[in-house]
């Protein structure tokens, strides 16, 4: 691996068997011809970044596991030349599209981490979200993955659903802990305009209830040995190395429709149009980031993680002191008790973590 190469690769697989009611990501229903054209285009796009060996690879979507065995094998073969040095190789999997054979295929190609799209253990909530699986598929899928040797498993849970009660949310958390996994990601439902919930004019839950659910999750997971290492992510001992590249503001490459790259001071946003993408019209917009942009984004991403921002890393990256560049914000937010400097690291206090949006506004207004 060359020292200045991006260390992380994200591949967006935009296909789903079922479109979830809350989702507005770049996605389409699975279709053999569309998948064939997508894979052909992906094979061409990856050539734009030749000879890079990645430390982490993440296949997201969409639902990568919705591809059939042959399609998955083609996908893995496209990526294989760039996975020789991979330390963490993640694929997003939904319970309904996982099979024993697919689990074995993952292992055969070096996948060692699964992001499992559970979302809820209440069947009525799964049905409401238009999820394609039943609750009994969850434990079955976890067992299949463990049987082939994959033990680094993360699950996603969604909370703050309309009419969801604290008791139902507590049940979801309890069921998640029974799986004896190491990593849990929690996401509050957002009503996106372009998702089905948005078109249905679904009303969001009261913000006070959403906050109570989040606090309940923090308390419940902490008692079970999980620590919150990022706002939405909890682990016992295996944080997502791929996502840490994002939060450390490292360069990364994103392939596939709707994917984004951060590369040599540019943000490269791929087209979200699958037809354009399949015609090799990959890039929708290429944005030159100013130094001020990059410094703020470094702060914005770094304060999301509990460890905070190493002052030396900031200075090495930008040849300026964070404490000087953001002197005004540092003073105001420290005086409010929202951030602190500990052992050469700037980080949010517990109170500041809950008010991160306000903290970031102060930094945004400084430069």
341 in a structural domain: yes
Question: Helix 207-223 to helix 166-178 angle, to the nearest 10 degrees?
Answer: 30
What is residue 130's predicted lDDT score, i.e. its pLDDT?
A: 82
Residue 353 lies in a domain: yes
CB 187 within 8 A of CB 157: yes
* pLDDT bucket at 131, cuts 50 / 70 / 90: confident
**224, 246, 268 — which closes off a domain?**
246
Query: Total structural domains in the chain?
Result: 2
* 264 inside domain: no
CA atoms within 13 A on the CB side of 82: 27
User: What contacts 22, CB < 8 A, 6 or more positions away?
Assistant: 129, 158, 189, 190, 191, 192, 195, 196, 197
Q: In degrees, to the nearest 5, what angle opens at C-alpha 345 toward C-alphas 340 and 351?
A: 30
288: three-class secondary structure by DSSP: strand
Query: Is residue 229 domain-shared with residue 353, that is, in the same domain?
Result: no
Residue 27 predicted with pLDDT over 80: no
Query: By residue range, what is the domain housing residue 28?
Result: 8-246
| Domain end position, chosen among 192, 224, 246 | 246
Same domain? 86 vs 189:
yes
* Residue 285 maps to a domain: no
pTM: 0.94
Residue 288 lies in a domain: no
The two three-digit tokens of residue 97, written as one number: 């599209």
Average pLDDT value for residue range 241-253:
98
Among 202, 217, 246, the domain boundary falls at 246
What is the model's pLDDT at position 19? 58
Least confident of 47-56, 240-249, 255-264, 358-367: 358-367
Give me the count of residues in the chain.
367
Residue whose pair of structure tokens reads 């105001």 in the numeric block: 332
Cβ-contact 140, 95 below 8 angstroms: yes
CATH of the domain at 67: 3.20.20.70
Residues 125 and 45 occupy one common structural domain:
yes
Q: What is the pLDDT of residues 146-192, one digit of tens each?
A: 999 999 999 999 999 988 999 999 999 999 999 999 999 999 887 65
* Residue 178: inside a domain: yes
d(CA 283, CA 272): 9
The pLDDT, as a whole number, for residue 276 is 95
pLDDT tens-place string over residues 94-115? 999 999 999 999 999 999 999 9
CATH number at residue 347: 1.10.10.920
Whether residue 164 lies inside any domain: the answer is yes
Quote the pLDDT of residue 22.
Answer: 53
């Amino acid at each position: 691996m060359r020292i200045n190469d991006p260390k992380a690769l994200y591949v967006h697989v935009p296909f789903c068997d079922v479109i979830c009611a809350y989702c507005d990501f770049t996605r389409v229903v699975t279709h053999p011809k569309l998948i064939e054209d997508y894979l052909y285009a992906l094979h061409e796009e990856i050539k734009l970044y030749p000879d890079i060996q990645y430390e982490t690879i993440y296949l997201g979507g969409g639902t990568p596991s919705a591809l059939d065995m042959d399609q998955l094998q083609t996908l893995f073969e496209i990526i294989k030349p760039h996975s020789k040095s991979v330390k963490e190789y993640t694929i997003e999997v939904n319970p309904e599209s996982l099979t024993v054979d697919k689990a074995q295929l993952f292992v055969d190609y070096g996948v060692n981490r699964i992001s499992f799209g559970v979302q809820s253990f209440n069947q009525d909530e799964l049905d409401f979200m238009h999820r394609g699986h039943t609750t009994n598929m969850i434990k079955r899928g976890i067992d299949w993955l463990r049987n082939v040797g994959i033990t680094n498993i993360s699950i996603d849970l969604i909370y703050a659903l309309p009419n969801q009660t604290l008791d139902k949310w507590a049940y979801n958390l309890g069921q998640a802990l029974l799986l004896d996994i190491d990593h849990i990601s929690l996401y509050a439902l957002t009503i996106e305009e372009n998702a089905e919930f948005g078109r249905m004019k679904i009303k969001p839950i009261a913000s006070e209830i959403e906050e109570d659910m989040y606090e309940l999750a923090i308390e419940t997971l902490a008692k079970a040995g999980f620590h919150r290492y990022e706002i939405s992510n909890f682990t016992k001992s295996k944080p997502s190395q791929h996502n840490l590249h994002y939060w450390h503001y490292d360069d990364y490459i994103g392939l596939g429709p709707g994917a984004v790259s951060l590369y040599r001071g540019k943000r490269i946003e791929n087209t979200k149009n699958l037809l354009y993408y399949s015609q090799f019209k990959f890039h929708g917009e290429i944005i030159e980031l100013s130094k001020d942009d990059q410094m703020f984004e470094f702060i914005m991403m770094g304060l999301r993680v509990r460890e905070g921002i190493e002052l030396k890393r900031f200075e090495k990256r930008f040849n300026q002191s964070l404490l000087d560049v953001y002197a005004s914000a540092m003073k105001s937010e420290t005086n409010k008790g929202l951030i602190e400097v500990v052992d050469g690291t700037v980080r949010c206090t517990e109170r500041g973590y809950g008010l991160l949006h306000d903290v970031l506004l102060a930094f945004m207004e400084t430069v």
